[in-house]
Amino acid sequence: MATTKKSKNPKEKIQHEEPDYSLNDVMLRGRVSDSAIEKTLPSGDKVVEFRLIISRLELSGVDTLDIGAWSTKTRRSALSLKPDEWIEISGSIHRRFWKGPSGLASRWQVEAAEISRI
């Protein structure tokens, strides 16, 4: 999507920026590792967090990914999940920051937009 930059000075020409083709869209299928946990953040926002276990196709082993459900609908769905249940998630990946005991900390999290049982 091409974007434009308008100047406050009417005599300046409009500058066209480079197109932005960014896409943050993930689709995951795997097993729920354990029961989801609801947290209330210092801001008052609520999030339900759980982990998804995904088998690696070419290598042995699994990847365990942190999932966050932020909307009312996805929080309700996440709280109803059972350990070892197969699900599919669509959403986007975000890096979350917070102040921990040893300073600033961060972690990658998949923000679930949709949660479906398989």
End-to-end Cα spacing for the chain: 35
pLDDT in tens, 62-88: 999 999 999 999 999 999 999 999 999
pLDDT in tens, 1-20: 555 555 566 666 667 788 99
Please list, in sequence order, all residues whose beta carbon lies within 8 angstroms of the beta carbon of residue 46, skipping any fewer than 6 positions away. 38, 39, 40, 70, 75
Instruction: Find the largest Cα–Cα distance for the chain.
Output: 64
Encoded tokens for 91: 């959403």
pTM of this prediction?
0.80
Beta bridge partners of 56: none
CATH number assigned to the domain covering 39-118: 2.40.50.140
Task: Give the C-alpha separation, 74 to 82, whole Å.
Answer: 15
Spell out the domain ranges in the chain: 39-118
Asked if 64 and 33 touch (Cβ cutoff 8 Å), the reply is yes
Res 105 pLDDT > 70 = yes
Local structure of residue 60 (DSSP, 8 states): S
What string of H, E and C letters represents the secondary structure of 67-118? EEECCHHHHHHHHCCCCCCEEEEEEEEEEEEEEECCEEEEEEEEEEEEEEEC
